[in-house]
């Protein structure tokens, strides 16, 4: 099973709302990633977790707060977002951070901030 699942598929939120995105994998992978993708652009890395510890934060604004409660789950907590944060949010996983490992992506959450 090479599946990464993400919920919800779509999310509409106001600028004062708090919401969370969820990502799950059952491949035994120990590295998990959050990416943001704007229309007609490649994915941009936001965060990397390795063995449930934050490894990389690509200078992401604090209104995005990642959490890795266990090796299978990755959350992205959203608060006080701006309309320009509207995008497709992609989760990915890999065996670990060894350079040769393949990344597997989830289907994404389409976020619209009003």
Q: Please, which residue, 16 or 55, has the CB nearer to another protein?
A: 55
Backbone angles phi, psi at 84, to 5 degrees: -70, -10
DSSP 61: -
Length of the chain: 114
Q: Please, which residue, 14 or 96, has the CB nearer to another protein?
A: 96
Smallest gap from residue 80 Cβ to another protein (A): 26
Q: How far apart are CA 9 and CA 21, in angstroms?
A: 9
List interacting residues with another protein (CB under 8 A).
4, 6, 31, 33, 41-43, 45, 48, 50, 55-56, 88, 90, 92, 94, 97-108, 110
């Amino acid at each position: 099973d090479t599946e990464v699942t993400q919920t919800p598929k779509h999310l509409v939120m106001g600028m004062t709302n708090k919401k969370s995105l969820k990502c799950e994998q059952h491949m035994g992978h120990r590295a998990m990633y959050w990416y943001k993708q704007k229309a007609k652009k490649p994915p941009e890395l936001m965060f990397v977790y390795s063995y449930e510890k934050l490894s990389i934060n690509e200078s992401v604004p604090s209104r995005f707060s990642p959490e890795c409660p266990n090796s299978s789950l990755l959350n992205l907590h959203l608060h006080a977002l701006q309309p320009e944060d509207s995008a497709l949010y992609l989760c990915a996983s890999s065996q670990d951070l060894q350079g040769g490992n393949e990344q597997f992506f989830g289907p994404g959450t389409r976020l619209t901030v009003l």
